[in-house]
Amino acid sequence: MAKVELRDGDLEDSDFSKWYRYDWGHDSPVLLVDTGRLNAWVTSVPRGRGSSRLNFLSAAICVDLVEQFLVDGRPEIKPEGRPRILIVCPYRPHAKLVELMLREQRLENEVRAGTAHSFQGSEADVVVFDLVNDEPHWKVGMFMSELDDGTKRLLNVALTRARLRLTIVGDFEYIVKHAKKAFIGLELIPFLKGNYPRIDALEVVKSGLAARAAQSQISVYGGDVEPSDARIVVTEKHFDSFLRGDLARSQNRVVIYSPFITQNRLGLLEPQLRGAVERGVSVYVVTKPHCDRGKREISQYRLLERALTDWGVVIVHKQRMHEKLVFIDDRILWEGSLNPLSFSDTGEHMERRVNKKVVEEYACTLRLGELIGEYRDRSPVCPICGSEVMACEGKDEPYFWRCVQEDCYTRGIDQPALEEGGLIRCSHCGGEVEYGEWGGKPAWRCITNRHHHQKMARTHLRLPRMRELIPKRRLSELDRHFGVRKTDVPSGHKGRNMDGFLFSEE
């Protein structure tokens, strides 16, 4: 692509000075607006036989920027006149989204949005070029070196539409990372970063960015009307339109039970989830732990869960779960056979109820308050080995707590968490235990009821207070048997005896 050089014209004699705000804060002939810290998530949308992309956050940023460029009290522009600003992007669905947002702000006469190809032969005083691409998409045409010829033509058109100001919006580090061998990542972005100022998008966008992105999604897909009936049953065809509205109106808490999660579903719900978090709503996603996933799925689920966490959503892992539910505050419950964060055209159903008593009964049965209460400050960790502690489907209770490491740590819902270095209690009656043997193997034997016993695990030997219960002559043998080293045992820890600790073999 030929080198492009932008030069200032005679601004005092042009119409540019009458409508452009020089003091908006970051005026520059060429400016890079970096969206990396926003953790944007791109949505795939069907287009013909393939798919295209939407980025609700970057679209909202572009509209925010052009609003800041415009002076209050500027001369009106005729509908048939040349636009003052162009917002250019690689994808037609994204351009349509920006067009809609411009109409909502009544800027459509002054600002036009479209693809680079649609603006071929056109120009404007100001151009905003939205690169759109971000997590989780890395198989992108402009990231592929073998498609560089087409990419250069697209970029050449996009970047040369500007007469006086060019602003480029994108996650530059992400693009460079995934386009290392392609022109855009190997040459263009390094050149731009080395020659022009770059600012963080968070420095220029107005507060409430996620809310604006969420509202734009509702405008595109629908979902702004709350059903008048207290009980409705829908298929996946109408589920999203109602759910988006419920999420948009949430005020305090959203809890989504979804055993499975997919990339596209997360992309579709991203604006509403982030908008809720931005409003101060506590959002939880209860899903299966990694040990319940296939080996080939784990890396993808790590990516999806990291995205949710970046948006401020709390992940709760529950082993062997099956529930498909959505709690909206204390008044709306969705329940049925659809995974809220993962479904396709399956013909399954979800029921929506607006009934505080029903919501309360479901929450009580599931012990929902206790479940998410464990995550108020941080995700629970095992006091013995430091691994993750997850909920696990129970027999008599909706769940119990257990360490992801086998034969390590479990406790019931109503039993307090074990402090590091503490004492194990009998898993049957909660009584004190002592060292013993059962069937010729080491075990913990209940002092209160001699028939109660439980298997000894390697991790138990990391508890200083439990090691004190084992005769010294046996302790060294057990260390060798379980492969426990001195460095595995915390030193100088003063444990306290607490009631209600359960360790049992599952």
Residue 130's H or E segment, with its range, is strand 124-130
Dihedral over alpha carbons 170, 176, 177, 178 (to 10 degrees): 80
The answer to whether the CB of 65 falls within 8 A of the CB of 102 is: no
Same domain, 331 and 412: no
Under the banding of pLDDT at 50, 70 and 90, the label for residue 49 is: low
Residues 90 and 171 in one domain: yes
pLDDT score of 44 more than 80: no
Same domain, 33 and 132: yes
Q: Can you give the CATH number for the domain in which 252 is found?
A: 3.30.870.10
Question: Is the bond into 136 cis (omega within 30 degrees of 0)?
Answer: yes
Asked if 151 and 182 count as a contact pair (C-beta separation under 8 A), the reply is yes
Tokens 């897909």 belong to residue: 221
- Better-predicted residue by pLDDT, 342 or 49: 342
pLDDT of 153 > 60? The answer is: yes
Give the lowest-confidence range in 38-47, 62-71, 165-174, 309-318: 38-47
- Let me know if residue 469 belongs to a domain: yes
61 shares a domain with 27: yes
**What is the DSSP pairing of strand 349-354 with strand 332-336?**
antiparallel
Confidence of residue 218 (pLDDT cuts 50, 70, 90): confident
Angle between helices 263-278 and 298-310 (to 10 degrees): 20
Q: Which amino acid is at 249?
A: R
The per-residue pLDDT for range 380-409, each reduced to its tens digit, is 988 878 889 999 987 778 899 999 987 778
pLDDT given for residue 491 in this prediction: 61
What per-residue confidence (pLDDT) applies to 420?
58
pLDDT score recorded for residue 493: 42
pLDDT of residue 113: 95
Confirm whether 158 is domain-assigned: yes
- Determine the distance from the C-alpha atom of residue 357 to the mean position of all C-alpha atoms in its chain, rounded to a whole number: 31
**pLDDT cut 70: percent of the chain above it:** 90
Task: Please name the residue that has the structure tokens 């107005």.
Answer: 206
pLDDT at 344 over 70: no
CA distance 380 to 386: 9
Strands (E) across 158-313 are located at 162-170, 198-200, 231-235, 253-257, 282-287
The residue-averaged pLDDT of 432-454 equals 88
| Amino acid at residue number 478 | L
Model pLDDT, residue 47: 72
Q: Which residue has the higher pLDDT, 226 or 428?
A: 428
**What residues have CB less than 8 Å from 145, skipping those under 6 apart?**
181, 182, 183, 186
What six digits make up the tokens of 315?
């992940």
Q: State mean pLDDT over 450-464.
A: 84
Count structural domains, the chain: 3
Give me the pLDDT at residue 6, please: 46
The predicted pLDDT at position 325 comes to 95
According to DSSP, the β-strands at 433-438 and 441-446 are antiparallel
Residues 408 and 300 both lie in one domain: no
Sheet harboring 314-319: ordered strands across? 231-235, 349-354, 332-336, 325-328, 253-257, 282-287, 314-319, 389-392, 400-403, 410-411
Instruction: Give residue 68's pLDDT.
Output: 94
Task: Output the pLDDT for position 504.
Answer: 36
3-state helix/strand/coil string of 293-334? CCCCCHHHHHHHHHHHHHCCCEEEEEECCCCCEEEECCCEEE
pLDDT average, residue stretch 257-280: 93
The predicted pLDDT at position 292 comes to 95
Secondary structure (3-state) at 53: strand
The answer to whether residues 201 and 268 touch, using CB atoms and an 8 Å cutoff, is: no
Give residue for tokens 């010729």.
440
Instruction: Check whether residue 50 and residue 164 sit in a common domain.
Output: yes
The residue count of the chain comes to 506
Average of per-residue pLDDT values in the chain: 86
Residue 446: strand pairing partners: 433
Q: What tens digit of pLDDT does each residue of 186-205 get?
A: 999 999 999 999 999 988 88
pLDDT-derived band at 500 (thresholds 50, 70, 90) equals very low
In degrees rounded to 5, what are phi and psi of residue 253?
A: -150, 140
Main-chain dihedrals φ then ψ at residue 390, nearest 5 degrees: -125, 160
How much is the average pLDDT of 363-388?
Answer: 90
CA distance 350 to 335: 6
Looking at the structure, do residues 167 and 264 belong to the same domain, yes or no? no
Q: List, in sequence order, every residue forming a beta bridge with 323; answer none if it has no partner.
A: none
In a domain, 129, yes or no: yes
* Final residue before a domain boundary, out of 163, 183, 206: 206
pLDDT digits (tens, 9 = 90+) for 318-334: 999 999 999 999 999 99
Q: Are residues 161 and 27 in the same domain?
A: yes
CB 42 within 8 A of CB 52: no
- Select from 149, 181, 206 the last residue of a domain: 206
* pLDDT the model gives residue 120: 87
pTM (2 d.p.): 0.73
Give the mean pLDDT of 332-347. Answer: 84
- pLDDT of res. 90: 93
- pLDDT surpasses 60 at 1: no
* pLDDT score recorded for residue 419: 64
> What integer pLDDT is reported at residue 348 of this predicted model?
78
pLDDT at 506 over 70: no
Whether residues 56 and 188 share a domain: the answer is: yes
In a domain, 380, yes or no: no
What is the distance between the alpha carbons of residues 330 and 473, in angstroms, rounded to a whole number? 58
Q: Order across the sheet with 124-130: list the strands.
A: 111-115, 85-89, 124-130, 162-170, 30-34, 198-200
pLDDT confidence of 494, banded at 50, 70, 90?
A: very low
Rg of the chain over CA atoms, in angstroms?
29
Q: What is the CATH number of the domain that holds 37?
A: 3.40.50.300
Task: For the beta carbon of residue 276, count every other beta carbon within 10 angstroms.
Answer: 27
- Whether residues 398 and 311 fall in one domain: no
Q: Are residues 242 and 312 in the same domain?
A: yes
Residue 499 has pLDDT above 80, yes or no: no
Q: Which of 328, 332, 376 is nearest to 352 (CA)?
A: 332
- Give mean pLDDT, residues 72-83: 85
Classify residue 382: in a domain, yes or no: no
327, part of any domain? yes
Do the domain assignments include residue 100? yes
Average pLDDT over residues 87-110: 92
Question: Residue 440 is part of which domain span?
Answer: 389-488
Is residue 250 one of the residues assigned to a domain?
yes
Question: Could you write out the three-class secondary structure of 379-392?
Answer: CCECCCCCCEEEEE
* Residue that wins the pLDDT comparison between 456 and 258: 258
Confidence of residue 139 (pLDDT cuts 50, 70, 90): confident
Express each pLDDT in 12-28 by its tens digit: 446 899 999 999 999 99
Six token digits for residue 113: 């949005």
**Other beta carbons less than 10 A from residue 156's beta carbon:** 15
Q: Which pair of tokens denotes residue 335? A: 């329940």
The reply to whether 118 and 66 lie within a common domain is: yes
Highest mean pLDDT among 143-152, 236-245, 405-414: 143-152
**Which pairs from 139-143 meet CB under 8 Å and 24+ separation?**
140/178, 140/179, 142/90, 142/179, 142/182, 142/184, 143/175, 143/178, 143/179, 143/182, 143/184, 143/185
